[in-house]
Amino acid sequence: MEVLAKIAFGMYALIILCGGAVTVTAQSLVRALIGLIATLFAVAGMYLLLAAPLIAFMQILIYVGAVCVLIFFAIMLTRASGEGKEAATPTARPAHQYANAVLVLLAPAVFLSWVIIRHPAKSVPVPAKVTVAELGKGLLEPYTLSFELISVVLLVAMAGAVLLIWEKRRKE
Amino acid sequence: MSALALYQLVAVMLFCIGIYGVTWRRSLVGMLISVELMLNGAGLSIVAAAQLTPASAVLGQLATLLVMGLAAAEATLVLAIIIVIARRFETTETDAVPELKG
């Protein structure tokens, strides 16, 4: 079992790396979205390995089911051409842009990895077991306020989105 | 290296790929996709820290659920903003919309 878990972890990490690379480098936005979906599924697999099945299912339900469909709508509604190319006329970029992007990639990567490796936290080898009933109890007893607040945030975001688009349409 | 450190390194990798995408992408939709990657890195890090340390596991899993809810709210609002920009400028490329006031 130990070996199987390691193999699964390596596989998921590989999918995350490749999917992430496709997500940020693909010319076509639809391909980038497919890369994102692959990455999200691999992260859901990591949640399963961490013994958090509810979070894994929520990851698939919320991210793949709702957020990715929303992003697909964004691509569809803003693009006249069916190809979904990111830039209509891709131009060459100056060298300092490459340098900046690589710097932005490396600076947090090196610093955070250094912190993680040099100052390891006290950890247990086997993930804690949490039942769904305990999660529901936590959501309704000690953390009720955050639960209510997130629903208010979602409502405000939805109303704000409708309002943003509505005003523009009324002026036309 | 402990299992916790491995999971944290994967989360850092996700975060850094996302931040690279935010700087590298030319369109607003591409930047939105990259921000989702960064948020996933944060979620993975929180769940790993909750499950593999003596800290409260319930709190960590609920925090990740809240991060997912915030990500959904953020995606909704960004979609609306992108549509407004696309109507006004007829493009969503970031180089084409440099003005804040217009």
In whole numbers, what is the pLDDT of chain B averaged over residues?
A: 87
**pLDDT level of residue B100 (50, 70, 90 thresholds):** low
The pLDDT of residue A81 is above 60: no
Domain-embedded: residue B102: no
**pLDDT level of residue A103 (50, 70, 90 thresholds):** confident
**pLDDT level of residue A171 (50, 70, 90 thresholds):** low
Tokens describing residue A42: 């691999």
Tell me how far apart the alpha carbons of residues B37 and A115 are, in angstroms, rounded to a whole number: 21
Give the pLDDT of residue B2.
83
Give the pLDDT of residue A91.
65
The pLDDT of residue A60 is above 70: yes
Give the closest-approach CA distance of B34 to chain A in angstroms.
Answer: 7
Number of domains in chain B: 1
SS3 state of residue B93: strand
Domain of residue B65 covers: 3-90
The whole-number average pLDDT for the span A12-35 is: 91
Please answer whether residues B47 and B1 qualify as being in contact, where contact means their C-beta atoms are separated by less than 8 angstroms: no
Tokens describing residue A71: 């992003």
Percent of chain A, pLDDT > 90? 35
Residues linked to residue A85 through DSSP beta bridges, in sequence order? A28
The whole-number average pLDDT for the span A101-118 is: 87
Domain-embedded: residue B26: yes
Domain-embedded: residue B70: yes
- Which of A31, A36, A78, A151 to mutate against chain B (most B CBs within 10 Å)? A78
Tell me how far apart the alpha carbons of residues A79 and A54 are, in angstroms, rounded to a whole number: 36
- Which of A3, A27, A116 to mutate against chain B (most B CBs within 10 Å)? A116
Contact B26 A87 (CB under 8 A): yes
Selection from B83, B30, B1 nearest residue A121 by Cα: B1
CA distances from A70 to A62, A73, B72, B81 (A): 11, 5, 9, 13
The whole-number average pLDDT for the span B53-82 is: 90
Domain-embedded: residue B95: no
Among partner residues A71, A123, A160, which is closest to B29 by beta-carbon distance? A71
Percent of chain B, pLDDT > 90? 45
CATH 3.40.1360.10 fits A1-84, yes or no: no
- Which of B7, B51, B66 to mutate against chain A (most A CBs within 10 Å)? B51
Enumerate residues 6+ apart whose C-beta is below 8 A from B81.
A164, B28
The pLDDT of residue A109 is above 70: yes
Contact A150 B69 (CB under 8 A): yes
Give the pLDDT of residue A38.
94
The pLDDT of residue A12 is above 90: yes
Contact A165 B84 (CB under 8 A): yes
Give the closest-approach CA distance of A115 to chain B in angstroms.
Answer: 10
- Domain containing B60 — which CATH number? 1.10.287.3510
Tell me how far apart the alpha carbons of residues A116 and B6 are, in angstroms, rounded to a whole number: 9
Domain-embedded: residue B29: yes
Give the pLDDT of residue A124.
83
Give the pLDDT of residue A120.
81
Residues A140-166 as b/e (b if ≥16 CB within 10 A, e otherwise) read: eeebeeeeeebeebeeebeeebeeeee
Q: Identify all chain A residues contacting B46, using CB atoms and an 8 Å cutoff.
A: none
